[in-house]
Amino acid sequence: MIENDRNIFANKFSKHDEISNDLRQILIESIISNTDVRIETNDEECMYEPKGMPIEVGMIQFLIDNEEDIQR
């Protein structure tokens, strides 16, 4: 997937008119509950980075891109 596609899907997820809030919360909880990703601090770039299996990292990165609170 190219970077532009990633931005398109991220924008659709974060819009409340595209997806119901209940379904959005279920998706967030399902991703967080079913991944074995650790969040590490990248001191050079001052940001958090998910580490682990690539598919799981992709799901967590999707939430990060949508500004979801993954550390709660």
DSSP 8-state class, residue 67: T
Is 71 inside any structural domain?
A: no
Total tally of structural domains belonging to the chain: 1
Is 7 inside any structural domain?
A: yes
Is 29 inside any structural domain?
A: yes
Is 50 inside any structural domain?
A: yes
Residues 51-65 have pLDDT tens digits of 999 999 999 988 888
pLDDT score for 66: 83
Is 49 inside any structural domain?
A: yes
pLDDT score for 46: 84
Is 70 inside any structural domain?
A: no
7: which 2 tokens? 């931005």
Q: What does pLDDT average to in each consecutive run of 10 residues of the chain (72 residues)?
A: 55 63 89 89 85 92 85 69
pLDDT score for 51: 93
Residue ranges making up the domain that contains 26:
3-65
Is 72 inside any structural domain?
A: no
DSSP string, 15-39: -TTTS-HHHHHHHHHHHHHT---EE
Q: In the Cβ-directed half-sphere of 68, how many Cα atoms lie within 13 Å?
A: 23
Is 26 inside any structural domain?
A: yes
pTM: 0.64
pLDDT score for 13: 62
